[in-house]
Amino acid sequence: MRATIRVYWRILVAGFRRQSAYLLAAFGGLVANTTFGLLKVAILFATVRAAGGELQGYDIALMSTYIWVSQGLLGSVNLFGRIDIADRIKDGDVAVDFLRPLDVQAAAITTEVGKAIFNLIPRGIPSVLIGGLVVGMALPDDPFAYLLGAVSVLLGITIAAATVYLVVAAPGFWLVETRGLQILYMVVSGFFAGLFVPIWLFPAWLEALAQATPFPSMMMYPVDIISGRADGTEALVLLAAQVAWLVAVAALGQLLTRAGRRHLEVQGG
Amino acid sequence: MSTPIIETDGLTREFRVRDALRRRTLVAVDDLSLRVAPGEAVGYIGANGAGKSTTIKMLTGILVPTRGSVTTCGLRPVQDRRRLARQVGVVFGQRSQLWWDLPVRESFRILAAIHGLSASEEASRTEELVERLEMAEFLATPVRQLSLGQRMRGEVAAALLHSPRLVILDEPTIGLDVLSKQRLREFLVAERRTHGTTLLLTTHDMGDVERLCDRVLVIDRGRLAYDGDLPGLSRTVGAERVLVVDLAEPVDDLTGIPSTRHLTSEGHGLRQRLAFDAEATTAARVLAAVSERAEVLDLTVEEPDIEDVVRRIYAARR
């Protein structure tokens, strides 16, 4: 067990360090995040004001926190559907992954999580700081909320990586081209994860539909916990839901990987 | 023969291919049965698409066989893939197992952790490989900045870091210059000598087979076409060696030398190429016969190349 933790820790660190090779690109991402953050500020603040200063529990300060934390998470929570292992399955490099005494799914997800954690440094934290300084935001004063928030962010990042593995990468064992799935994922995930509008502002039926997918647990729940919108028991319920989603998408991904291996065709080279 | 390290029986792998809307089945490996004993060094040769890589991928548990059985290091490759991975090292000449954005040294550290090497095992093995493959100068360089020769040394070290019993090399010298090839071969010879490693390699380079292998398997359209040693292979196919002589003055075509066939003349007979049967005569005897007719200034002997040998085997089977 200890040896296994050591191995995956190494792989996590490798993902983290790999991503650090692309620092400039990360700052480019930060600029984009901030621009869209300001756009969201303009639209969503106007919406809250039009509703008389409060909308479904969101006042200006809470909305600001929602905007800047969600923008900050965008560099780490995979809502784009791109994952290295999908390319490796397509071009056959996955052969090398199968030559290692590792679980291919777990190693792929761990690598992605390592990369995502690195992105919190040049993209996540600065985004929140910029938002806080320029627009101002509400943050909880209970230090425990930050601990829960950190755990929730890590879970959200991992759920996103595991879901992309399940939905975009694993079907690659059968399909030659998975770009269509990636685009579909990108379109659906951002909307249901609450990237554009908090899902709590959705009509009841749409909110229920969102809650039936793992997407809110990637971004909406962590944002709720960090912003203090969900605290105490409510926060713990969200965390439990996250754990359940993680187990579900990881287990399905594992099943699909096992079945897919029989279909793997690495021809030539 | 002791318990084989590789054992296949009726091993077959089919691929479904689709061309022009029609589906057809391509048999990449067809009813292959072979045994390799521990410590052997086997060259696995054949034309492109003959089934070499597919075989390797079944031996290592990457591909699932369509039919037949395969045992590698006493394990079932697909079911016991992860256990097998600890005993086998594979180099795919065309694929990298190093971490592209990280320094070479970092890849070795990660792989050491993956294979569960202790700190002392890791240190001594890394040191041994760095020294033997002369990697000290580029250990701190990110993999993407390495030359091909450097990267291949890194790849080989990565595959051998956990001291596998069986090393499989798929086109390890492809694209390498003469010096890099030579260095890699010397390393592999030394590695076998010190660790008794079993070697299976596919190659298009006759030099690899000559210097590294004591046994040759030829595969043709997924089937085993030859199994034996290299001189035997040349004998079987009757591959001729060729003596090229540069003469002091133009002479007529050098025909009529026993067991020899005149191939070409250039420069009005200043340079002539003579094919001779290595079983029936020797280069020295042919040279002596030539010297009786003309003064020889220079000479080279051309060995049959791997493509030629394979072509002849294929031709004999069709």
* Contact residues, B window 116-135, toward A, CB-based 8 Å cutoff: 116
CB B114 within 8 A of CB A101: yes
Q: In this structure, what are the phi and psi dihedrals at residue B247, rounded to the nearest 5 degrees?
A: -105, 160
Pairing of strands B241-247, B296-302: antiparallel
pLDDT at A48: 95
Report the predicted TM-score, pTM, of the whole model to 2 decimal places.
0.87
Q: Is residue A9 part of a domain?
A: yes
Alpha helices in A92-124 (DSSP H): 94-98, 104-119
Separation of alpha carbons B241 and A229, rounded Å: 84
pLDDT at B277: 80
Q: State which residue of chain A sits closest to B82, comparing Cα positions.
A: A101
Q: In what helix (H) or strand (E) does residue B198 lie, and over which residues does it extend?
A: strand B198-202
B54 in contact with chain A, both atoms CB, cutoff 8 A = yes
Check CB contact under 8 Å for A14 and B60.
Answer: no
Q: Is residue A266 part of a domain?
A: no
* B25 vs A contacts (CB less than 8 Å): none
Domain count, chain A: 1
A3 in contact with chain B, both atoms CB, cutoff 8 A = yes
Half-sphere exposure of A154 (CA within 13 A, CB side): 9
Q: Is residue A230 part of a domain?
A: yes
Q: Is residue A128 part of a domain?
A: yes
Mutate to test the interface with A, among B15, B27, B99 (most CBs of A within 10 A): B99
Domains and CATH numbers, chain B: 6-235 (3.40.50.300), 240-317 (3.30.70)
Check CB contact under 8 Å for A6 and B49.
Answer: no
* A261 vs B contacts (CB less than 8 Å): 64, 78
Residue type, A134: V
A204 in contact with chain B, both atoms CB, cutoff 8 A = no
Q: Which domain holds residue A80?
A: 2-261
A141 in contact with chain B, both atoms CB, cutoff 8 A = no
3-class secondary-structure state, position B152: helix
Q: Which of B57, B85, B100 sits opposite A100 (nearest CB)?
A: B85
Quick one: angle between helices B104-114 and A2-20, nearest 10?
A: 160
Instruction: Determine the length of chain A.
Output: 269
User: What's the pLDDT band for A211 if we cut at 50, 70, 90?
Assistant: very high
In tens, the pLDDT along A47-95 reads: 999 999 899 999 999 999 999 999 999 999 999 999 999 999 988 899 9
Q: Which of A3, A261, A269 sits opposite B95 (nearest CB)?
A: A269
Taking only the tens of pLDDT, chain B with its 318 residues reads: 578 999 999 999 988 877 777 788 888 999 999 999 999 999 998 888 888 899 999 999 999 999 999 999 999 999 999 999 999 999 988 889 999 989 999 999 999 999 999 999 999 999 999 998 999 999 999 999 999 889 999 999 999 999 999 999 998 888 788 888 888 899 999 999 999 999 999 988 878 888 899 999 998 888 898 899 887 877 777 667 889 999 998 888 888 888 888 988 988 889 999 988 877 888 899 999 999 988 999 998 887 777 777 778 777 777
DSSP A166: I
β-bridge mates for residue B39, sequence order = none
Check CB contact under 8 Å for A265 and B63.
Answer: yes
**Strand order through the sheet with B260-266:** B260-266, B271-276, B241-247, B296-302
Q: Which of B61, B106, B115 sits opposite A98 (nearest CB)?
A: B61
Q: What is the ipTM of this complex?
A: 0.86
Q: Is residue A206 part of a domain?
A: yes
Question: At CB < 8 A and 24+ separation, what contacts does A38-47 make?
Answer: A38/A134, A40/A67, A40/A71, A40/A196, A41/A67, A41/A135, A44/A197
